Amino acid sequence: MAKSKKAVKKKSRRSAVRREPPPILVPGQDYELDLPSGHLSFSQIDLVLRCGFLYEYQYVQGHKRPVGPALVEGGALGKVLETTHKQHAKTGHHLPREDAISLYEKTLGKELKTVADDQWYNDQPEDLFARGRRFLHDYWPPVTRAVVEKRKVMAEAKYELEIAGVPVEGYVDLIDPFKGVVDFKVAAEAGRYNVKRSLQLSLYAVAFQVPKVAYCVFEKWTGNIRWLYGKRKLDETHWWLKVVVSRVAAAISERRFVPTQIDKDKLCDPKWCPRFDICAGMRG
């Protein structure tokens, strides 16, 4: 059955709207760049997009983010991965599995002293120790084609670049010549991560000009390690990042901080936000 002219015209009008590119704001032209930390990072960009009020609380007002179990758990695992890959780059040998587990326990034990008491919810210290041992036992040794072929693997790799005139910097968990840019996660289950739509992996891919991206997720529910793979078209991704970064940088520079919607955002919760009571009180 042939489509009506009205339907065709309506569809073509929608297509025309979709093809119109959103503007990329330029520092010094559309706004004056003024970033509290002098640069952006993925965590800052993500925080502004999730809740401008929380960004203002941490970066403008200068309140420190409470240290929670997830932060120290990820930091301890990152320390182990960084250490073993640096050793492998120098000697051709990774840390033995038991040494890796021992380093994790030592680092975690030290960092647990910084965790705020009110940040413990579903986890306990023994959970973090057990989870780390299980992950490292199953992940070890981190043998990949890169190791076999003597290709370089970088852990905790730093990046510094400029996107839409805005300095952006940070660290990536792992760069493997064959797996691509990798970020490690610990979560209840891997299904919560969408590799195709990940702003984090998009930023890392452009920063290192590596089209392959991946999440390595250790599932708390199953105890399994799951790899989620994706790919980026670097030119298109870079353009999209310019749009996002320029808007975030402009909002910060002009001190336009929009709060998240309490009734719509599941992350708007006292477990994640140290300003929750103040913010909720302001809204009645």
* Whether the predicted pLDDT of 245 surpasses 70: yes
pLDDT of residue 281: 44
Rounded distance between C-alpha atoms, residue 43 and residue 251, angstroms: 16
Cα separations in angstroms, 178 against 144, 164, 202, 249: 8, 29, 17, 33
Helix, strand, coil fractions of the chain, as percent rounded to 5:
50, 15, 35
With H, G, I as helix, E, B as strand and everything else as coil, classify residue 230: strand
Which amino acid belongs to residue 77? L
DSSP symbol at 113? G
pLDDT of residue 156: 86
HEC readout, 163-218: ECCEEEEEEEEEEECCCEEEEEEEECCHHHCCCCCCHHHHHHHHHHCCCEEEEEEE
* Whether the predicted pLDDT of 1 surpasses 70: no
Q: What pLDDT, in 10s, does the model give residues 129-160?
A: 999 999 999 999 876 655 555 567 788 899 99
pLDDT of residue 263: 60
Q: How confident is the model at residue 41 (pLDDT cuts 50, 70, 90)?
A: very high
Q: How confident is the model at residue 284 (pLDDT cuts 50, 70, 90)?
A: very low
Query: Biggest alpha carbon distance in the chain?
Result: 71
Q: How confident is the model at residue 264 (pLDDT cuts 50, 70, 90)?
A: low
**pTM tops 0.85, yes or no:** no
